[in-house]
Amino acid sequence: MRCLIFLFFCNISFAQDIETFNNERKDLDKKLMLTLGTWATANIAVGTYGWISSEESESRYFHMSNTLWNTVNLGLAIPGYIQAKKVDAIVDRNLVLDQQRKTERIFLINSGLDVGYICAGLLLSGSENYKLSGVGKSLVLQGGFLFAFDLSAYALHRRHVKRSGIIQGVQFYGQPYGVGCTIRFN
């Protein structure tokens, strides 16, 4: 009987831990999306002004590309922020951990894509064609920012997981005649 009471209180404590972990994860996502949205908004403002005020030149295509690129960034930042702001009615451990892994994977994959943008931009920026050169320089700038952003976001999420100990401390496993769990106390 005492063991059941102990396990009951452990489960309550664990549920609070996963809820805290999830809230901290969502707060981190909100801050990241605000950062991306701020970058995008500033680039849209400066880019639009540069696009309109520039003559037909490399500069015009640089600003045009920055404006268009950051329209996409803003289009990702706004729904990302709204999603992070939603309050979860029920915090399910497996769903939270799946979302955590998915988020980390997305930022890591995006970091690899960002390297591709930078490389494509470097190739284009050396072009004799001023349009391609302007777009290429924009790709280098935007790819560079996104690489730093995505890699930092991945690192921040990994650090959050490690600090929480939420994943390392509990291990669930299946057996032929039931399920089990190992809880490691630090």
In sequence order, what are the beta bridge partners of 172? 181
So what's the pLDDT on residue 166?
73
Residue 81 confidence (pLDDT) above 50: yes
Residue 174 confidence (pLDDT) above 90: no
What's the whole-model pTM score? 0.80
Q: What is the mean pLDDT of residues 70-89?
A: 94
For residue 16, the tally of other CB atoms under 10 A from its CB is 11
Flag the least confident range among 25-39, 107-121, 169-183.
169-183
Residue 179, helix vs strand vs coil: strand
Backbone angles phi, psi at 54, to 5 degrees: -85, 145
Residue 2 confidence (pLDDT) above 90: no
Note whether 73 and 40 are within 8 A (CB): yes
So what's the pLDDT on residue 172?
52
Residue with tokens 């921040």: 156
Q: What is the mean pLDDT of residues 126-142?
A: 97
Residue 89 confidence (pLDDT) above 80: no
CA dist., res. 131 & res. 186, Å (int): 59
Residue 71 confidence (pLDDT) above 80: yes
